[in-house]
Amino acid sequence: MDNIIVIVVAAVVGLAIGFAIAKMMEKGKASKTIANAKKEAAYIVKEANKEGESIKKDKIFQAKEKFLELKAEHEKVIINKDKKIAEAEKRTRDKESQVSSELAKNKKLNDQYQQKIKEVEYKSDILDKKQSEVEKLHKSQVQQLEVISGLSAEDAKAQLLESLKETAKSDAMAYLQNTLEEAKLTAQQEARKIVVNTIQRIGTEEAVENCVSVFNLESDDVKGRIIGREGRNIRAIEAATGVEIIVDDTPEAIILSCFDSVRREVARLSLHRLVTDGRIHPARIEEVVKKTEKQINEEIAEIGKRTVIDLGIHGLHPELIKAVGRMKYRSSYGQNLLQHSREVAKLCGVMAAELGLNPKLAKRAGLLHDIGKVPMAEVEVETPHAILGMQWAQKFGEKDEVCNAIGAHHDEIEMTTLLSPIVQVCDAISGARPGARRQVLDSYIQRLKDLEDIAFGFHGVQKAYAIQAGRELRVIVESEKVNDDKAAELSFEISQKIQTDMTYPGQVKVTVIRETRSVNVAK
């Protein structure tokens, strides 16, 4: 028990001593830690002071640099301002000097002007004096002349005016006569120029129309079927179409003869349908002819529409359009009437435009000028075609200028507008053009042949061509036989030969062409 107590006491004393030692050690450690912390704090404060000094120096350096930079910019701005101020001052000084010089100059000019005014006033006074002296002298001279001539000034003036009037009148009449002659010559030249230009710009193909048509057959056996028993089929065809059918010895062909091209076309198409179908008898013939007539009438209307559209003519009455279509199946002296009317319309349009008139109205009159040649009824045939065409135009609401141009193009009535002579002239141009109508074609071809034959009659001529409707002859010569000088002489000789041996309208231009060719082959 006592041992336990001793152990316990020893343990307690040991614990107290250990606690005291621990406290002492902890206190020493704490003081050491505090000392270390103080040292570290002092070091940190020292380093912070160093870093603060460094930062302070950097900031001060940056501030100095910024200050120097701002100072440099400010000085630069001040320098620029000073420079501008100096320039402004210089310009001001220049302006002042310029103004001063201008003022001096103006002052000088003003002084000169004042001097001139004084001189002019002085001269004006002198002139007034001189004028008064001249007037006095003139009056004295007039009085002396009146005394010498025995006439007063008014009488002398009247005689002088009368003589001047006579002289001026005679001079004016001579000038007027010359002007009129020159105007006539110029007008004729301009008219010829317009006509020639119009003819050259309008060129349409012309084909001579005939009064017969040939209907070809596959074999001569068909002729018998067309004739029929005792000729009843051929009589039925002739009665239905109004066309004479000629069946002769011509192999595989029969001839349709009629002055009316529409009837002839109806007969031709009807025969074609009948022969193709194979059924040929009077009832069938009448049926086919009626269908064909209907088809031809529709075709006529379509042709008329196409024609007026091509020519740019609008607002034409349907009956007049049909009349235009019927022109395709009419001919005048062998010239197709529709082709003739189209050509006249184009000629009228060009000529009216050259003369400053309405070209559309001129085209209208040119197209309709011959519609009287396609009468709508047989009783109308006795009326002249120009008058009949004018009556139709009036009936269907055409303008007075167009109606007068249609009626007056063959001088049946008086011309009242400028459009009428244009239509008349263009109609003559179209009809008289070489090759357009049958009676002119042969003489035209012969004239061209004679021109070429005259050229071939000269030595050295290789080829000769009559061109431009016989208005020009181009002659190609052999370069070995004809030199340049001889070519000019040949041209003159040919022109003289044509002038003496031929009769021709207008003039013929002779062109001699000489060509030398050198040909080599590179191999």
DSSP string, 37-81: HHHHHHHHHHHHHHHHHHHHHHHHHHHHHHHHHHHHHHHHHHHHH
CATH of the domain at 466: 3.30.70.1350
Among residues 432, 455, 478, the one where a domain terminates is 432
446 and 427 in a single domain? The answer is no
* Global pTM value: 0.43
Last-in-domain residue among 376, 405, 432: 432
Residues spanned by the domain of 270: 214-298
Query: The tokens of 160 are what?
Result: 């002088």
> Do 360 and 401 sit in the same domain of this protein?
yes
DSSP, residue by residue, 145-160: HHHHHS--HHHHHHHH
Distance CA 54, CA 48 (A): 10
Do 492 and 474 share a domain, yes or no? yes
For residues 413 and 454, membership in a common domain is answered with: no
Same domain, 417 and 484: no
Q: Are residues 427 and 444 in the same domain?
A: no
For the ranges 222-226, 317-321, 377-381, the one whose mean pLDDT is highest? 317-321
Q: For residue 320, how many other CB atoms are within 10 A of its CB? A: 23
212-216 sheet: strands from edge to edge: 212-216, 253-257, 244-246
- Secondary structure, 3-state, 82-138: HHHHHHHHHHHHHHHHHHHHHHHHHHHHHHHHHHHHHHHHHHHHHHHHHHHHHHHHH
Classify residue 475: in a domain, yes or no.
yes
Of 238, 265, 298, the residue that ends a domain is 298
Note the pLDDT tens digit of each residue in 45-88: 888 888 888 888 888 888 888 888 888 888 888 888 888 888 88
> What is the per-residue pLDDT for 418?
85
Per-residue pLDDT at 439 exceeds 50: no
Shared domain for 246 and 331, answered yes or no, is: no
- Cα separation, 48 vs 175, whole angstroms: 126
In a domain, 504, yes or no: yes
Q: Evaluate whether residue 412 is within a structural domain.
A: yes
| Cβ(477)–Cβ(461) below 8 Å | yes
pLDDT at 157 over 60: yes
Q: Report which of residues 401 and 241 the model is more confident about.
A: 401
Residue given tokens 């031809």 in the structure block: 296
Same domain, 452 and 427: no
Nearest by Cα to 345 from 319, 322, 371:
371
Q: Is residue 218 in some structural domain?
A: yes
The arithmetic mean of pLDDT across residues 35-48, rounded, is 81
Give the chain's domain count. 3
pLDDT tier for residue 5 given thresholds of 50, 70 and 90: confident
84 in a structural domain: no
- Digit-coded pLDDT (tens) for 202-230: 544 444 345 566 777 776 677 777 777 77
Residue 209 has what pLDDT?
Answer: 43
Is residue 388 a part of any domain in this protein?
A: yes
pLDDT of residue 150: 62
Averaging pLDDT over each range in 289-303, 329-343, 373-387, which range is the top one?
289-303
Cβ atoms of residues 337 and 374 within 8 Å: yes
| Cα distance between residue 199 and residue 16, in whole Å | 155
Which pair of tokens denotes residue 502?
């031929």
Could you tell me if 330 and 406 lie in one domain? yes
CATH number, domain of 328, equals 1.10.3210.10
Q: Are 376 and 434 in contact (CB under 8 A)?
A: no
Which of 17-26, 272-281, 472-481 has the highest mean predicted lDDT (pLDDT)?
A: 472-481
pLDDT surpassing 50 at residue 298: yes
Show the tokens assigned to 282: 């009077």
pLDDT band with cut points at 50, 70 and 90 for residue 25: confident
Per-residue confidence (pLDDT) for residue 189, from 0 to 100: 66
Residue 180: per-residue pLDDT: 64
Tokens representing 174?
Answer: 């001579």
CATH number at residue 275: 3.30.1370.10
In a domain, 118, yes or no: no
- Identify whether residues 454 and 388 lie together within a single domain: no
Lowest pLDDT segment from 220-224, 294-298, 395-399, 407-411: 220-224
- pLDDT for position 208: 39
Q: Domain check: are 376 and 358 in the same one?
A: yes
Measured in degrees and rounded to the nearest 5, phi and psi for residue 254 equal -130, 155
Please report, rounded to a whole number, the percentage of residues in the chain having pLDDT higher than 90.
Answer: 0
Question: Do 326 and 383 fall into the same domain?
Answer: yes
Above 60 in pLDDT, residue 378?
Answer: no
